[in-house]
Amino acid sequence: MSKIKVITTVSQKAIAVREKVRTNEIPQAFGHMFGELMPVLQGEVRCAGPPFAYYHSWSDEGTDMEVGFPIVGEGITKGRIHPFELPAVKAAEAMHIGPYDKLMDTYNEILEWMNANGKKPANYMWEEYLNSPEEVPADKLMTRLIWPIE
């Protein structure tokens, strides 16, 4: 069971790439979407935090998502890359430790917690990736989940 708490986020400027993706294609989409962003991060903008995935919507069939990086200063538009802003919101936060294919378990815990505490979940959420599979084994991956409360 994850520790869930209510937080208030601050808005954060970012750059991102947006795409509608089938649920079973999300891992491959991450690869090419982050791949589009990396050259820009190596010279045109300065990264200000961990990479994120922002889900505008979610269903069993797929998601409308953005992947990106928080930045210092203003964003740029280049190809599919565009300025984005993570919103300032009241949200439920949980830290998921473990493989990405178990993230849904932690989301379900957040949803159960919201229901038990009279909170209404927003129809969007985001994840911040605090380390990567290139750095640590899958059971040590740390993902911060942020699910806004209406």
Tens digit of each residue's pLDDT (9 = 90 or more) over 90-141 = 999 999 999 999 999 999 999 999 999 999 999 999 999 999 999 999 999 9
Which residues, in sequence order, are CB contacts of 21 under 8 Å at separation 6+? 29, 62, 63, 65
- Domains in the chain: boundaries: 4-148
Residues composing the chain: 150
Q: How far is CA 94 from CA 7, 30, 128, 144, in A?
A: 10, 21, 11, 6
Q: What is the pTM of this model?
A: 0.94
What's the CATH code, domain 4-148? 3.20.80.10
